[in-house]
Structure 1
Amino acid sequence: MYYAVQAARSAGIPVIFDAGGMDSPIPQELLNYVDILSPNETELGRLTGMPTESFEDIAQAAAKCHKWGVKQVLVKLGEKGSSLFIEGEEPIQQPAIFAKKVLDTTGAGDAFTAAFAVALVEGKSKKECLKFAAAAVSLCVQVKGAIPSMPDRKSVLELLNYH
């Protein structure tokens, strides 16, 4: 059932699982293959059954995911930015890169996770991955619609040059 994630893991490809739309618990068999779980704070609360109102709440919910065997939890926090919780390390926080005008947040979480993955496989540090993803989201929310709002690499790098 989990052939794709098994194959990715066997090939040394990091497995990032975006928890968007998950209403039920994630099967442990799948979590065994996940390198990075990427929920937003609402999804994290739903998956863990824990509150996610404060940063401390979110950290405790991420710790519960660590107990499930997920070593890294990448939490999307909307206008509050993002945080990466790596088991046994201090969390890495990235503030949002604010957009001049927010038109539509559809696809922002997907843009974030995809941009993070791109930066990760390119060998950037986790901090750089978070910043790259924040820039992608900043551009994404300025365009209406999910597909049209996905930024290209050139635009993300140009935005990062200003920050």
Structure 2
Amino acid sequence: MLGEWMHQCPPELLNAVDIFSPNESELARLTRMSTESFEQIGQAVVKCHKMGVKQVLVKLGAKGSALFIEGEKPIKQPIISAARVLDTTGAGDTFTAAFAVALVEGKTKEECMRFAAAAASLCVQVKGAIPSMPDRPSVLHLLQTV
């Protein structure tokens, strides 16, 4: 069970995590805390911080996402609306991957969040996990139009 893994994980492993990126239900299971409201999500993230994870990127589905960096105000990113939603499969993975790409390219955390939201918006408009992963030109084009 994931929650038990988090509680039994050696602290040195959690300290080695740069950014932990659960969705809100995974965060609830991992911390054994409710994540129904943004305040509750923040409290669950504090538990992650106490376990050694300094940055927690929470995917909130239709409510967007939030990056919690220990000691700082959360960075919230709303979704970028999709023209149509066909399939949400892979949207969270697309978001996390796009965030990581933008991060290694040296973008600010806010820019990373926006880039990731654009990629996820494109992802939900295509059926299937692999076919829905957008390419860079598509993400950049969307960002120019919103």
Q: 1:103 to 1:23 in 2, by over 3 A?
A: farther
The answer as to 2:25 corresponding to 1:45 is: no
The answer to whether the Cα contact below 8 Å between 2:3 and 2:32 also exists between their aligned partners in 1 is no
Whichever residue aligns with residue 14 of structure 2, its letter is: L
Higher helix share: 2
Distance 1:22 1:145 in 2: 26
Distance 1:22 1:150 in 2: 26
The answer as to 2:6 corresponding to 1:32 is: no
Alignment of 1:81-120 (within 5 A): 81-120=64-103
* Matched residue, 1:144: 127
Q: 1:23 to 1:149 in 2, by over 3 A?
A: farther
Q: Deviations over 1:62-111 (max 9, x none)?
A: 01100011000000000100000000000000000011110001101100
Distance 1:153 1:128 in 2: 14
Distance 2:51 2:24 in 1: 18
Shift of 1:33: 1.3
Percent of aligned pairs sharing the same letter: 73
* Matched residue, 2:142: 159
Q: What is the CA RMSD across the aligned residues, in angstroms?
A: 1.2
With the length of structure 1 as denominator, give the TM-score of the two structures. Answer: 0.85
SS at 1:36 equivalent: coil
* Matched residue, 1:134: 117
With the length of structure 2 as denominator, give the TM-score of the two structures. Answer: 0.94
List alignment gaps of at least 5 residues for structure 1.
1-20
Q: Which has the higher contact order (CA 8 A, sep 6+)?
A: 2
